[in-house]
Amino acid sequence: MVVDVVPYDPGWPLRFRRTRDQIRQVLPGAVIEHVGSTSVPGLSSKDTIDVAVGVEDVDAALTPGVVAALAGLGFEHRPESFADNLDHAFLHRIVAGHRTDHVHLMRLDSPTYTDRLIFRDYLRASPAVVAEYQEIKLHLAAELADRRGEYVDRKATIVGSMMRDARAWAAQRVP
């Protein structure tokens, strides 16, 4: 699969709201947030909406009936993704060969869920960091266009180092 980072699309928030509303029909008690690069105005991204779905218990929420209902909406559960994290399940939706949505079902109070929100909010509040992150992503996408797995791994390393600053930023905001 090719890595294609595109300029920010002002239609991404609407796409998120449509996806959120579909998921809410299946998981009405979940907290559903737009995360990832498509949630940051002005930031280039792969054209895939990242959705964080916060629940009290991932196993209890991801029943066979819920998996089937989400599959009916086009979401495929990928149990091998994040298999080492019991607080994180992953689904994706592919339409006409294009990954349209990544859904991360996570325990609400887990570090994984919290970190996604912190990183999003940090980027939204930090235009200089967004510019730096965008430059890195565009460079990696050009260098690794035909090696998606390597792109994802290298970007994860960079995000990991940026998370230290994001957590420090978030800690300063807490009253």
- Tell me what percent of the residues of the chain surpass a pLDDT of 90: 80
For residue 128, give both structure tokens. 């200089």
For residue 80, give both structure tokens. 């091998």
Segments making up each domain of the chain, as ranges: 5-173
Candidates 111, 113, 97, 133; CA nearest to 30 is: 113
* pLDDT tens track for 9-50: 999 999 999 999 999 999 999 999 999 999 999 999 999 999
Per-residue pLDDT, averaged over 75-98, amounts to 89
Q: What is the CA radius of gyration of the chain?
A: 16
pTM as predicted? 0.92
Pairing of strands 31-35, 45-46: unpaired
For residue 175, give both structure tokens. 């009253």
CATH code that applies to domain 5-173: 3.30.460.10
